[in-house]
Amino acid sequence: MSKVVSHSFFTDFDIDLFKAGKHFRLYNKLGSHLTEVEGVKGTYFAVWAPSAKSVSVIGDFNYWNAGEHELYVRWDSSGIWEGFIPGVDKGTKYKYKIHSNNNDIWTEKADPFARFCEQPPNTASLVWDAPYTWKDQDWMDTREEKNGLDKPYSVYEVHLGSWKKKHGWESLTYLEMADELVNYVDEMGFTHVEFMPVMEYPYDPSWGYQITGYFAPTSRFGKPEDFKVLVDKFHQKGIGVILDWVPSHFPEDAHGLGYFDGSHLYEHPDRRRGYHPDWKSLIFNYGRNEVRAFLISNAIFWLDQYHVDGLRVDAVASMLYLDYSREDGEWEPNMYGNNENLEALSFLREMNQEVYASFKGIQTIAEESTAFTGVTKPVHYGGLGFGMKWMMGWMHDTLEFFKKEPIYRSYDLNNITFSLTYAFTENFMLPLSHDEVVYGKNSLLYRMPGDEWQRFANLRLMFGYMFTHPGGNLLFMGGEFGQSSEWNFLQSLDWHLTQYDFHSGIQEAIKDLNKMYKSNPALYEKQFNPEGFQWIEYNDRENTVITFIRKGNDPNDDLIVACNFTPVPRENYRVGVPKTSTLKLVFNSDETKYSGSGMGKKTMKPAKTPWNGHEQSVVMTLPPLSVVVYR
């Protein structure tokens, strides 16, 4: 095979942008690209390795011989090595063999910009393009209207490898999921699906959060173009796609980004800032321009090349604080003497500014568990610029409350009501995520107290409370039918449970809650605005009942919500209401079709009896362990 031909995709302007950390389409330049030079077909390779003495492309085309195809280093001190190799075709396996100037070290690395990787445990990159004709133009043209913060956000969180197995052990492919998963999410009525990381990762027990191939959908389930089909099919059903994105850390695997060219290239060189003690992984050097360009290019890549509608950014809290998970003496304060990671803050702000400026109708969502202020405030107001933030406090307080026997709940009613004291300080999404059903925490169903009937009633009540609480919603797969065991990434969900009435009842309740959420503007138009919520009664400890109003732009859309957190029916429960018009039932978690008891009223006419600060009131029948919603 011919030797390397000098060739470049880079202009001087590209290099200037790269050095300044402002080149956010690096995937068009770095990596491997099928091309033609002077009538000869082959592949152009480019890799950033500034500490290298030499860089060779090794692969199955040259028997992995480092001396055969050495790249040319650019003259401009960019640290980029590049060249065109004739005859290297799509599907060729390759790596970079790097001889470092740093202590004469040799490394053998996968391509950081590879579009496709070998299936783990193999670690080579593959030369690939993924041509695809998208069929989601209707979605993309109207996404800005459908994906806004004043629109419904009911998210189904999915781990692709364990949602459903065939033959008892084999995961579905992207193409099979484009049929089965898409139709299921559509049938259940969710507005969005969120995938735990799809970027290539070597270690299954990491669930995808230890990434080595940031630009490659994992080959476990098919080809990159197959993943495009999956996204496309969701869009054709009007369902948005959110990807988990992990710019917070990366693994030390020998073929990955760590110690890439024999130096601390991607990771921070100071172990106090470059190593994560919890996850035994490396932390990006957010102050290095080229690393920022790599990460922001990666965020844009998925929005651009895969039409993704949102990025849920993992472990943001670990990025914000220099002392995160560290003891005294294990971290160093910033220039102002405090614990904020100024470089990471700057990176997150720039990332959010760039993606929102580049793509209409997308959202970024922060998994951030601290009281850091302004996560969802615009950057020009001093915020981080995220669209939404996971409401971890709500999740913790709610699960703590629901695990208690109802007889004790009156003493902890503030666990349920407290979230409304800060619900509008950020744009919150309420998560019941994968993290809550692993590591001995038990399934959502088996956190609930009582006998079988009460467990399921409690679960329906909790879901009803979540859907009527201000903010978006996220539910991890399996929760929607009352999965009884903890999530196990090696196994399929327990789909056989849906043949039983209690489990299918949960499924029907989730369908109806999604339908209610999407068809009642009072639940989403002002979900991040204090004008969208009003308490009726939040301190009825005697009955352990809360009542409130949800409001949209039109007062005629207002909803009255009542939650009874005990198994005792409240048959003559008076509730003050703001209007004299008849109340009509929208949702009752105690319906017999959900395996409830069937109590409750369909309509109620208010009487001129003042109550709860209102001039009129109704007498409700509150079923046991239930939420009822009236319009």
How confident is the model at residue 168, as a pLDDT?
A: 81
- pLDDT tens digits, 40-92: 999 999 999 999 999 999 999 999 998 899 999 999 999 999 999 999 999 99
User: Which of 82, 367, 368, 480 is an active site residue?
Assistant: 367
Q: Which two tokens stand for residue 74?
A: 């650019």
End-to-end CA distance of the chain: 74
User: Are residues 458 and 450 in contact, defined by beta-carbon separation less than 8 angstroms?
Assistant: yes
Query: Is residue 268 classed as helix, strand or coil in its secondary structure?
Result: coil
In three-state secondary structure terms, 41 is strand
* Site of tokens 């005629």: 556
Average pLDDT over residues 484-510: 97
pLDDT in tens, 421-448: 999 999 999 999 999 999 999 999 999 9
Burial (0-12, 13-18, 19+ Cβ within 10 Å), 410: middle
Sign, CA dihedral 599-605-607-612, equals positive
Q: Which is it for the CA torsion 449, 453, 456, 462, positive or negative?
A: negative
What pLDDT sits at residue 2?
62
pLDDT for 248-272, tens place per residue? 999 999 999 999 999 999 999 999 9
For 277-310, the three-class secondary structure string (H helix, E strand, C coil) is: CCCCEECECCCCHHHHHHHHHHHHHHHHHCCCCE
Query: What pLDDT score was predicted for residue 587?
Result: 98
Q: How many CB atoms lie within 10 A of CB 91?
A: 10
Whether the full predicted model's pTM is greater than 0.85, yes or no, is yes
- Rounded to an integer, the average pLDDT of 482-490 is 96
Whole-number pLDDT of residue 8: 96
Give the pLDDT confidence score for residue 505 in this predicted structure: 98
Residue 603 makes CB contacts below 8 A (sequence gap 6+) with 582, 583, 584, 585
For 145-268, where are the E strands, in sequence order? 154-158, 165-166, 170-171, 192-195, 199-200, 213-217, 240-245
Predicted pLDDT at 67: 86
Using alpha carbons, select from 97, 160, 161 the residue that is nearest to residue 490.
161
Beta strand pairing call for 154-158 and 472-476: parallel
Tell me which amino acid residue 533 is: F
45-62 exposure pattern, b = at least 16 Cβ within 10 A, e = fewer:
bbbbbbbbbbbbbbbebb
Written as six digits, the tokens of 104 are 């004469």
Q: Is the pLDDT of residue 580 over 90?
A: yes
Residue pLDDT, tens place only, 593-620: 999 999 999 999 999 999 999 999 999 9
> Furthest-apart CA pair in the chain: how many Å?
91
Residue 1 has pLDDT above 60, yes or no: no
Contacting residues for 533 by C-beta, under 8 A, at least 6 apart: 420, 423, 424, 470, 526, 548, 549, 550, 551
Active site residue: 118, 314, 480, 590, which one? 314
Question: Is the separation of the CB atoms in 453 and 620 below 8 Å?
Answer: no
- Chain centroid, CA 272 distance in Å: 28
Q: What's phi and psi for 409, nearest 5 deg?
A: -70, -25
Q: Which residues of 159-183 are buried (b: 16+ CB within 10 A; e: fewer)?
A: bbbbbbbeeeeebbbbbbbbeebbe
Structure tokens at 192: 């969005």
* pLDDT for 577: 97
Q: Is residue 275 over pLDDT 80?
A: yes
Share of the chain above pLDDT 70, in %: 100
Query: What's the pLDDT tens digit per position in 310-354?
Result: 999 999 999 999 999 999 989 999 999 999 999 999 999 999 999
Please determine, for residue 449, whether its predicted confidence score (pLDDT) is greater than 70.
yes
Mean pLDDT of 168-183: 96
Residue 158 has what pLDDT? 98
pLDDT at 130: 87
Q: Is 157 a catalytic residue?
A: no
Any catalytic annotation for residue 451?
A: no
Domains and CATH numbers, the chain: 12-127 (2.60.40.10), 530-630 (2.60.40.1180)
